[in-house]
Structure 1
Amino acid sequence: MNIFYAFGLGIVMGLSIAAPPGPINAMMAHESIRSSLHGTAVGAGAMTADFIFFWLTYFFKSIIPSSALIFFYFIGGAYMLYLAYGVLKIKGFKATIKGSYVKGLTTAIVNPYQISWWLTFGISMLQQFSVFIAPGFFTGIVIWIFSFPMIINKIGERYVIGVKIFSFIVLLAFGIYILYQGIYALKI
């Protein structure tokens, strides 16, 4: 396998999990208004969750029962609704960088989108490329978690209310959708 090909493909795959709109990017945008470092801290927390999922998927990909995901749907959905409420309620930015990191980690570790990504695309990625994909994959995530907050921080000050409303809508929608997926999974 060509090392440059694996690295480039890994970057694209890393961006495929980091860049789509969702709860992590909504929180990154919200925290980036204060400083790009706070937004990056949220992304670093989510990347830590991806690092954990990477190794769990690598070692346990053949024994993970899909029925175990139902638990994450309910916890993840409830947590997203809590975060949506918090975004509207917040008057100022009080989170420390460590607090932003923990918020990103806890959200990502129960996020059914990330869990589903790892149980589908992640397993496929690891079966095809094994651990050789890791350097490019995490480079793609690092590119996103540094560039996105920087951009939001530069333009976001003018759009504080818009970012807050957008973050609330995305988190609320994902929370409801994730809870719905959990209820639907129970019926199957």
Structure 2
Amino acid sequence: MDTLYIVLIGTLMGLSIAAPPGPINAMMAHESLESPLHGTSVGAGAMTADFIFFLLTFFFKSLIPSKYLFIFYLVGGVYMLYLAYGVWKAKVMNVTVKGSYIKGLTTAIVNPYQIGWWLTFGISMLDQFSVYIAPGFFLGILIWIFLFPAVISRFGKNYVLYVKLFSLIVLVFFGVYFLYQGALYAIKV
């Protein structure tokens, strides 16, 4: 595959895990009202958790027989659409929770959204792109953990509506994409 394509897709996939409203982004928004660096610190903790999940998923994926991998594509696609629905129905995120790097890490490591993302979509992502997706994937997360706090710090929490819309678009796109890939995979098996 073309390197630029893999980096672009990886970046979008990184944004798909980093951008949706949830406890990490609530902590990042709260801390960003004080300083963008504080918000980025929370995001860096969450990105560390994603790196741990990335490694675990990479090694776990090899234990799954290839004829059953299409199930992870389908479940991952449905999960992304479910998350998109949750983003659509969510009220404006609560930004009263204080955070730090350690709190970002510990919250992310037990966050059902991130665990579910890695057990479904993450396995499908690594099956399709292997470790070659890593640079783009973590670039997408880095973009988010620097850009989101900077925007919140500058414009305040009213910007959160645009975050919600962006998250919805990314989640629906990848939900449909992986459902399509899972259907193609199932036909081949």
TM-score normalised by L of structure 2 = 0.64
User: Is the contact made by 1:61 and 1:119 (CA closer than 8 Å) also made in structure 2?
Assistant: no
Q: Offset of 1:63 from its aligned partner?
A: 5.1
- Tell me what 2:96 maps to: 87
Q: Offset of 1:87 from its aligned partner?
A: 3.5
- Tell me what 2:124 maps to: 124
Q: Offset of 1:61 from its aligned partner?
A: 2.6
- Tell me what 2:46 maps to: 46
Q: Offset of 1:57 from its aligned partner?
A: 0.1
Q: CA RMSD in A?
A: 2.5
How many residues align structurally? 131
**Is it true that 1:145 corresponds to 2:145 in the alignment?**
yes
Q: Deviations over 1:4-62 (max 9, x none)?
A: 11000000000000001111101100111110000000000000000000000000135
Q: Quick one: distance in 2 between partners of 1:138 and 1:62?
A: 21
The AA in structure 1 aligned to 2:139 is T
Alignment of structure 1 residues 1-188 onto 2, 5 Å? 1-61=1-61, 87=96, 100-156=100-156
Q: Deviations over 1:70-98 (max 9, x none)?
A: xxxxxxxxxxxxxx9x937xxxx7x7xxx
User: Is the contact made by 2:14 and 2:139 (CA closer than 8 Å) also made in structure 1?
Assistant: yes
Segments of structure 2 that go 5 or more residues without pairing to the other structure are: 65-92, 161-189
Q: Quick one: distance in 1 between partners of 2:55 and 2:3?
A: 20
The AA in structure 2 aligned to 1:40 is T
3-state SS of paired residue (1:87):
coil
Q: Offset of 1:155 from its aligned partner?
A: 2.0
User: Is the contact made by 2:26 and 2:96 (CA closer than 8 Å) also made in structure 1?
Assistant: no
Q: Deviations over 1:120-169 (max 9, x none)?
A: 0000000000000000000000000000000111122xx69xx9xxxxxx
- Tell me what 2:187 maps to: none
The AA in structure 1 aligned to 2:96 is V
Segments of structure 1 that go 5 or more residues without pairing to the other structure are: 65-83, 164-188
Q: Deviations over 1:158-185 (max 9, x none)?
A: x69xx9xxxxxxxxxxxxxxxxxxxxxx
The AA in structure 2 aligned to 1:118 is W
User: Is the contact made by 1:58 and 1:126 (CA closer than 8 Å) also made in structure 2?
Assistant: yes
3-state SS of paired residue (2:96):
helix
Q: Quick one: distance in 2 between partners of 1:43 and 1:52?
A: 14
